[in-house]
Amino acid sequence: MSRMSAPSRAAREHAERRLGALATPPGALGRLGGLAVQVAACQGQVPPRPLEDVRLTIFAGDHGVAEHGVSAFPPAITGAMVRTFLAGSAGVSALAAAHDVRVRVLDLGVDDDFADLDETTRSELTRHKVRRSSGAIHLEDALTPDELERALEAGAEVARDAIADGAQLLLSGDMGIGNTTPAAAMISAVLDLRAGEVVGRGTGIDEPTLRHKTDLVDQALDRCGPRRGDPREVLAALGSADLAAATAYLLQAARSGVPVVLDGLMSVACALVAERIDPGARDWFIAGHRSPEPGQSLALEALGLDPLLDLGMRLGEGSGAVTAVPVLRSAVAVLREVALLEELGV
């Protein structure tokens, strides 16, 4: 049974009336207007509260399929990048610092024991760890049923804890060499497409590698068979611990009535699965940006979401979502602070 409720219709209508009454020509704020109305509807409050507490969770994990020649980079990069997030010096770290977004990285399935980290950092990083790497999806399921349950519970708990601690807006990010392969497989399965329409170049693979990656995704889809009709089976067969946790995180945010900004391919693949698990979740999702990955645009279209930014970014990590945060804050500011036309006294 669905535990999803819709954003407040009363607040939406109130926000639309306020938007229409602002001291601006009708429609002059463009998409900022609709965005402000969406935030007000999600918060159930007009004008909406400023988005002060904004948090990104990066779900990290390795992928068995990455050992089979689908990425331009080796799997050892995943653990190295996790250490870079912890040091605050990754691409997304710079963006998050610029836009006052708190970043948390969690190891759901990195093929690394992080024995070099101090005990506090290590236990915080790995407390939700499900396994080291996930199954190579063209050969075997990514997760056992028990691992899937643990990953789903972890993602939900992370969102619940952040919200209980005051988060007003959540963002989801990813780290895991090879993860554009399971993400493309998940999107292909849900949208019932062959891999050729969905698979993209990820970190920048060449033409022969792209053909090989596409073949492996088709093999994974064939192996999955009719189970692809069930979104949870899609996560277990074609996903990973990190992608399952990210899906549950998005779902929990929606169920708790907190809006989420989506990022690139991985985040949007998880959002698509979340919407299939609990229809209506998408009303709580805001598409931060468009990635050049074809699967990301296909999934956004299926979700009925129009991304805020289109900067050609294909980094992942939550970087596109973080870059969209100032646009969202701008939308909230205009609905809160702009005078009403009637106050002009003309």
Contact set with ligand NIO (CB under 6 A)? 180, 202-203, 263-266, 291, 293, 296, 314-316
Measured from the CB of residue 289, what is the shortest distance to ligand NIO in angstroms?
9
Size of the site for ligand RBZ (CB under 6 A): 18
The entry of ligand RBZ, ligand NIO, none near residue 175 (CB within 5 to 8 angstroms by kind) is ligand RBZ
Residues 150-179 that bind ligand RBZ (CB under 6 A): 174-179
The structure tokens 């956004």 sit at 300
The entry of ligand NIO, ligand RBZ, none near residue 133 (CB within 5 to 8 angstroms by kind) is none
The residues pairing with 106 across neighbouring beta strands, listed in sequence order, are 59
Q: Does 64 bind ligand RBZ (CB under 6 A)?
A: no
Whether the CB-CB separation of 301 and 271 falls below 8 Å is answered with no
Q: Does 141 bind ligand RBZ (CB under 6 A)?
A: no
The residues annotated as belonging to the active site are 317
Measured from the CB of residue 33, what is the shortest distance to ligand RBZ in angstroms?
33
Which positions ≥6 away from 262 have C-beta within 8 Å?
172, 250, 268, 271, 285, 286, 287, 288, 305, 321
Whether the CB-CB separation of 252 and 152 falls below 8 Å is answered with no
- Which one of the spans 27-35, 66-74, 109-117, 284-292 is the region binding ligand RBZ (CB under 6 A)? 66-74
Measured from the CB of residue 99, what is the shortest distance to ligand RBZ in angstroms?
18
Tokens of 190: 């849900």
Give the x-and-dash track for 179-208 against ligand RBZ (CB under 6 A): xxx--------------------xx-----
Whether the CB-CB separation of 124 and 102 falls below 8 Å is answered with no
Measured from the CB of residue 199, what is the shortest distance to ligand RBZ in angstroms?
10
Measured from the CB of residue 72, what is the shortest distance to ligand RBZ in angstroms?
6
Measured from the CB of residue 243, what is the shortest distance to ligand RBZ in angstroms?
11
DSSP 108-165: EE-S---TTS-HHHHHHHHTT---SSB--TTTS-SS-HHHHHHHHHHHHHHHHHHHHT
Q: Which is nearer to ligand NIO, 68 or 336 (CB)?
A: 68
Type and span of the H or E element at 60: strand 54-61
Closest CA to 148 of 238, 254, 45: 238
Closest CA to 216 of 41, 1, 20, 65: 65
The entry of ligand RBZ, ligand NIO, none near residue 37 (CB within 5 to 8 angstroms by kind) is none
> For residues 82 and 124, what is the distance between their CA atoms, to the nearest angstrom?
13
Residues 315-334 that bind ligand RBZ (CB under 6 A): 315-317
Q: Does 81 bind ligand RBZ (CB under 6 A)?
A: yes
Q: Which is nearer to ligand RBZ, 208 or 226 (CB)?
A: 208
The entry of ligand NIO, ligand RBZ, none near residue 293 (CB within 5 to 8 angstroms by kind) is ligand NIO
Q: Does 272 bind ligand RBZ (CB under 6 A)?
A: no
> For residues 230 and 134, what is the distance between their CA atoms, to the nearest angstrom?
19
**Angle CA(111)–CA(116)–CA(121) in degrees, nearest 5?**
90
CA 36 from centroid of its chain's CA atoms: 20
Q: Which residues bind ligand RBZ (CB under 6 A)?
A: 71-73, 77, 81, 174-181, 202-203, 315-317
